[in-house]
Amino acid sequence: MRLLTRLFLILAVAVTAFAQNPKPIADRLAAQNALFEEQYESDLRNAPERATAFGDYRYNDKLSDHSLAAIAQRHKTDEDFLKRLQAIPTAGFSDQDQLSHDLLVRSLQQRIADFDLKEYEMPVNQQGGVHTGLADLPLSVPFDSVKHYEDYIARLHQIPRVLSQTTEVLRAGMKDKLMPVRFLLEKIPVQCQGIIDADPFLVPTKKYPPSISAEDQKRLTQQITDAINKDVIPAYKSFAAFISKEYAPQGRTALAITSLPDGQKRYQNDIYGRTTTHMTADEIHQLGLREIERIQAEMMVIAKKAGFADLAAYRASLKTNPKYIPNSAEQILDDFRRYIAQMEPKLPGLFNLLPKSPVTVEAIPAFQATAATHYVPGTPDGKRPGRVVVATSNFADRSLINDEAIAYHEGVPGHHMQLSVQQQLTGLPKFRLHGLFFNAYAEGWALYAEQLGKEIGFYQDPASDYGRLSSELFRAVRLVVDTGIHSKGWTRDQVVDFMRKSGAVDEPTIQSETDRYISWPAQALSYKLGQLKFRELRDRAQKALGPKFDIRSFHDEMLNGGPLPLDLLDARTDKWIAEQKSKRMNLEFEVGRFRIGHLFYWIRTERVPLQDAQLPALAEQSLHAPKSLAPLTVLLPSKEP
């Protein structure tokens, strides 16, 4: 019996020892990296359009499977990857490898949380969806070969399947009472008709590269035209009819996402997913009110310098001043191009890491006129540039005072800077270079970037600087109205009225943005919360490092890890600060050791008469002597004659 007991004890100890001593680090790290690659490739196969956006053209002849069965299968795949990843012990991993592990875990967990709430059953709204995404296909590929054209034709033939599958998903949402707001859904058929009228799918036939023969050009044009007429247009008409006659009439009438099943949980999931914080809706609402008060105080300084007694009077003067009223859509585009161009040569003063891919400016298409100004990333090889896509509809009702801030936000040093640098990074898993996106990080960086123009001497026109503050005010207002809609039961009129009183943006923007917040809960919260985190981290680093703080190194640190949740960005920055302090201390120690050594070498070679008791004090003095070594001699007594 004793022998048996001892055997059990030995076995228990062996099992414990094995559990405490997992596979060697190199083996576990290799397993993790292999899983990263497998998961990344799985995502590309499941989303061919995403692969195209990354400049990977292996799946250019395919469109994603949008069926309920495919969605369920992707969910199972996510669960499997998460289980396998969490089974890899990370003890002993480097900070970067641990961070990669944590990032993919977070990303997969968020996907699973979204699936559990059936977020996939509401895939379209007036902001966009598969119908507008497909219309962007002609701009997603560099049409520089016959193969690219033939792949494009193959995709055109698949559009009926994609729209039919999306209809299947929307019907499931109808059954589960997961419906967007009715009056916003009614805008989608109008968008579909706009796409049909504009026919963007013909764009690739307007200009062929010289390398494609005239015979091939004729053939490809005919095949594209036939695919559009026989497949694309009928599919769009059918989809629009379904939305108009069946789907939109079932849309919800309550604005708040909390009116849906699991409403409170759904909104909190949206807040966490889009801000990566655990702040409550009320905490965010109150923060927004405080930020509005702070920013308006800064705006008041500009108004008073301009000779106005209050903000309302100054705003009224800007609205009627012809200098700030666009006379054409092209003038707005020219504004954006000019501001981006003046910022580009200033970037080396703010960053060591610089974007290699170009950026262009274009207008939002008429069929998507309700969309806000936004950025579309280019490809890592630069063949397709990054695109700043600008809202220019109803130009006479818009103002030019916000253009400078928004140009920096969407272009450089904002989105184009951040996303282009992300694509250029080396030594990171592919999933961190392409496709990983945390809203609070990306939008927070872009809002932070608006102020960098001020720091390097731009916003020379006080009205443009007022526009910068208006842009920041606009993001603070979002904290109030988004939570107002989805947590406090605000009506659309309440939101519009609050935004008008803030004076942050013009009337067309107020109308389109209000609808955006209704249809896209919590997304608008990410800008201000992210910006405040970047400011907090910069202030922390400056305070800790003092005169040794280098703005370029700090900005590089903010960008060279790729997009991060705010809590992981915070922890990573603390480590960077500690490393900078350690480097400085090590450098000072080495310099001090060298200086003391030099001092005593001088004493020894010059035979300077010193008492032993004098040496500690002299060594202390030497540490604080000027950097030049020659002045050390003044600390020494005269030599004997």
For strands 374-376 and 359-363, give the pairing.
unpaired
Least confident range of 10-19, 37-46, 299-308, 355-364:
10-19
Q: How confident is the model at residue 372 (pLDDT cuts 50, 70, 90)?
A: confident
pLDDT at residue 543, as a whole number: 98
* 407 neighbors 336 (Cβ within 8 angstroms): yes
Per the DSSP assignment, residues forming a β-bridge with 304 are none
585 and 485 part of one domain: no
Q: Please give the backbone phi and psi of residue 374, each rounded to the nearest 5 degrees, phi first.
A: -150, 175
- Token pair, residue 388, equals 């700043």
CA distance 283 to 274: 16
Note whether residue 462 is domain-resident. yes
Has residue 537 got a pLDDT over 90?
Answer: yes
Share of the chain above pLDDT 90, in %: 82
Q: How far is CA 252 from CA 185, 248, 258, in A?
A: 10, 9, 12
Domain termination residue (choose one: 487, 516, 538): 538
Triad 273, 276, 282: Cα angle to 5°? 90
DSSP-derived secondary structure for 567-593: HHHHHHHHHHHHHHHHHHHHHHHHHHH
Q: 549 Cβ partners below 8 Å, 6+ apart?
A: 541, 542
499 and 591 part of one domain: no
Per-residue DSSP letter, 48: H
Mean pLDDT of 22-34: 95
Note whether residue 371 is domain-resident. yes
Note whether residue 315 is domain-resident. yes
- Token pair, residue 174, equals 């109808």
The Cβ of residue 383 has, within 10 Å, a number of other Cβ atoms equal to 12
341 and 444 part of one domain: yes
pLDDT at residue 380, as a whole number: 86
CA distance 344 to 447: 17
397 and 489 part of one domain: yes
DSSP-derived secondary structure for 455-481: HTT---SHHHHHHHHHHHHHHHHHHHH
Has residue 594 got a pLDDT over 90?
Answer: no
529 and 612 part of one domain: no
* 251 neighbors 181 (Cβ within 8 angstroms): yes
367 and 426 part of one domain: yes
* 344 neighbors 420 (Cβ within 8 angstroms): no
- Mean pLDDT value across the chain: 91
What three-state secondary structure class fits 373? coil
pLDDT at residue 18, as a whole number: 43
468 and 322 part of one domain: yes
- Token pair, residue 59, equals 């799946």
Note whether residue 638 is domain-resident. yes
Give just the sign of the alpha carbon dihedral 325, 330, 333, 337. negative
The Cβ of residue 310 has, within 10 Å, a number of other Cβ atoms equal to 11
Quick one: which of 502, 441, 494, 445 has its CA closest to 469? Answer: 502
Mean pLDDT of 491-505: 96
Q: Would you tell me the crossing angle of helices 526-545 and 439-455 to the nearest 10 degrees? A: 60
391 and 460 part of one domain: yes
Has residue 17 got a pLDDT over 50?
Answer: no
Note whether residue 84 is domain-resident. no
611 and 520 part of one domain: no
Per the DSSP assignment, residues forming a β-bridge with 376 are 387
Domains identified in the chain, total number? 2
Q: How confident is the model at residue 371 (pLDDT cuts 50, 70, 90)?
A: confident
CA distance 84 to 79: 9
Note whether residue 590 is domain-resident. yes
* 292 neighbors 476 (Cβ within 8 angstroms): yes
Triad 487, 288, 256: Cα angle to 5°? 20
* 189 neighbors 239 (Cβ within 8 angstroms): no
Has residue 630 got a pLDDT over 90?
Answer: no
Least confident range of 106-115, 318-327, 373-382, 458-467:
373-382
Q: Which one has a higher pLDDT value, 21 or 27?
A: 27
Mean pLDDT of 514-531: 97
pLDDT at residue 583, as a whole number: 82
pLDDT at residue 13, as a whole number: 43
What amino acid occupies position 462? Answer: P
Domain termination residue (choose one: 489, 523, 538): 538
Q: 617 Cβ partners below 8 Å, 6+ apart?
A: none
- Token pair, residue 112, equals 């699973």
What three-state secondary structure class fits 365? coil
CB-neighbour burial class of residue 215 (10 A; exposed 0-12, middle 13-18, buried 19+): exposed
CA distance 302 to 467: 11
629 and 504 part of one domain: no
> Which domain does 432 fall in, by range?
266-538
pLDDT at residue 612, as a whole number: 55
520 and 593 part of one domain: no
Integer-rounded Cα radius of gyration of the chain:
30
Q: How far is CA 495 from CA 176, 219, 284, 403, 492, in A?
A: 29, 53, 16, 24, 5
What three-state secondary structure class fits 375? strand
What three-state secondary structure class fits 239? helix
Q: What are the helix and strand counts (H, E) for the chain?
A: 26, 3
CA distance 459 to 466: 9
Q: 366 Cβ partners below 8 Å, 6+ apart?
A: 194, 198, 393
Question: Does a cis peptide bond (omega within 30 degrees of 0) precede residue 365?
Answer: no
Note whether residue 309 is domain-resident. yes
Checking phi first, is residue 218 left (phi over 0); if not, alpha (psi -120 to 50) or beta? alpha
pLDDT at residue 3, as a whole number: 47
Tell me the per-residue pLDDT of 445-456, one tens digit each, with 9 for 90 and over: 999 999 999 999
512 and 636 part of one domain: no
Note whether residue 457 is domain-resident. yes
DSSP-derived secondary structure for 212-239: S-HHHHHHHHHHHHHHIIIIIHHHHHHH
What three-state secondary structure class fits 23? coil
